[in-house]
Amino acid sequence: MSIADFTFARLPEIHFGPGKLSLLPRLIARYGTSVLLVTGSASFARSASYARLTGELARSGIRLLHCSVAGEPSPGFVDATVARHRGAGIGCVAGIGGGSVLDAGKAIAAMLPQEGSVEPFLECVDTRKHDGRKVPYIAVPTSAGTGAEATKNAVLSSIGPDGYKSSLRHDNFVPDVALVDPELALSCPPDVTAACGLDALTQLLEAYVSNKASPMTDALALDGLGHVAAGFLRAYENGGGDLAARGHMAYAALLSGVVLANAGLGVVHGFAGPIGGFFPMPHGVVCGTLLGAATRLNIEALRRDAAGHRVALEKYARAGALLAGEPAAGTDAGCDLLVRTLDRWIAATGIARLSAYGVTRDDFPRLLDRANNKNSPVTLDREEMQAILAARL
C-alpha cells in the first residue's frame, strides 16, 4: 500500500514530565526580562507552585505582569488585556491553566504586536488576515484536555442568543514551548478530569478516523488512545494520588492537540461550536456528553456501506479493542466494544446532559443549522445529527 501525500505542521519545543514546571523561569528568561503570565481565576494563582514561581522570577530579575481569565475567553477580554500591556516590552507570554487559559494566552501573544481588535481576525468574521507576528508563547497545561499546548488556534467565545465560538488561527500560533508537567493536574477535581479527559479522547478518536488522517497522525492518535485506556478511569477515580494516571492523560492530551492540528476533527466538534456559543456548557462536557451517541451513529452509517468504509470501521474497531483491553476483537466486535466502552465511561463519570445547561428540543433547529460533520469519515444527514442531540438531551 502506498502512502498518500500529507503535510505535518510544526511542533512546539516539548518538555514533558513530573516537576518540569521548575524549568519555566529559565525558559522565560530566554525571551527577555519581562513576562505576562496568564492564569485562571482560581486554582493555580493560589497554589504553592505559583508562589515558588513568582519568587524565582523576582530573584532572576524578571518583571512579572499577571492577568487572570475567568471561564472561556471572549474577544473583549483579549482586547482589554492586550490594550493594558501593549508597548510594555513583554518578552514572552506564559499561559498556565486549562484549555481556556491556554487559548487566552495564545490569543494575547498573537495580538500584542498587532493594531486593533482581535474580532476581525476570527474565522467567523474574517475581514482581516493575521500576518503571524506574535510574542513568543509558553503553554503550561494544568488539566489534561484540549491539547491547546500543541495547536495553532485559539478558540474565543461570545456566549448568548447571537453567540459564537470561533478560532484565531495561524501556523505561527503553535506555542513556542509546551511545558507539560503531570503534577499540575493532581489537584484537578474529578468532574473536570472527566470532561477534559473525554475531550482529549474525542480529539484522538475524531482525528484517528478523520478523512484527513495521515500515517503520522494515525500512529500518534493510536498511541494516545492507548494512554487514555491506561489512565482515564484511574485519573477520575484517584486523581489526587495517581501521578502515573495523570501522566498517561497529560501525554494523551498533548498528542490529541498534535493530531487535531494535523488531521482535523469530526461531528462532535462540529456540534461543540454552536452548543458552546449558545449555552454556557464547558467544551469538555459538550464533547463528553455527545461522544458515545455520535460514535454509535457514525458506525451505523458506515456499516450501511461497510465495503466502502472498511478502513474507518477497522480504525473504530482498533480503538474499541484498545479502550476495552480486548486486543483480539475483530472489526464488528471491536466497533461494538467501542460504543459500549464509551457509554460505560460516560455513565460512570456522570457527564451532564445537554438539558442541564438549558438546551431544549426547540433549540435543535438552530444548533443543526450551524453544526457540521467536519472531517468525519461519513456524512450524517440532518435526521442522524438530530438523533445525536436527542440521545443526550
- Given the rule CB under 5 A, which residues bind Fe ion? 199
Greatest CA span in the chain, whole angstroms?
65
In whole angstroms, give the CA distance from residue 118 to residue 308: 43
Q: How many CB atoms lie within 10 A of CB 118?
A: 25
Smaller CB separation from Fe ion, 265 or 317: 265
In whole angstroms, give the CA distance from residue 318 to residue 333: 10
Q: How many CB atoms lie within 10 A of CB 369?
A: 9
Residue whose C-beta lies closest to Fe ion: 199
Smaller CB separation from Fe ion, 199 or 218: 199
Smaller CB separation from Fe ion, 199 or 242: 199
Closest listed residue to residue 116, CA positions, set 130, 95, 97, 135: 130
* Closest distance of CB 272 from Fe ion, Å: 6
* Closest distance of CB 351 from Fe ion, Å: 14
* Closest distance of CB 287 from Fe ion, Å: 5
Q: Please give the radius of gyration of the chain, using alpha carbons only, rounded to the nearest integer.
A: 20
Three-class SS of residue 259?
Answer: helix
Q: Cell numbers 481569565 label which residue? A: 69
Q: Which residues, 6 or more positions from 321, have their beta carbon under 8 angstroms from its beta carbon?
A: 327, 328, 329, 334, 337
Q: Are strands 164-169 and 153-158 parallel, antiparallel or unpaired?
A: antiparallel
Smaller CB separation from Fe ion, 81 or 146: 146
* Closest distance of CB 288 from Fe ion, Å: 10
* Closest distance of CB 99 from Fe ion, Å: 8
Cell of 220: 500518534
Smaller CB separation from Fe ion, 153 or 214: 153
Smaller CB separation from Fe ion, 21 or 174: 174
* Closest distance of CB 269 from Fe ion, Å: 6
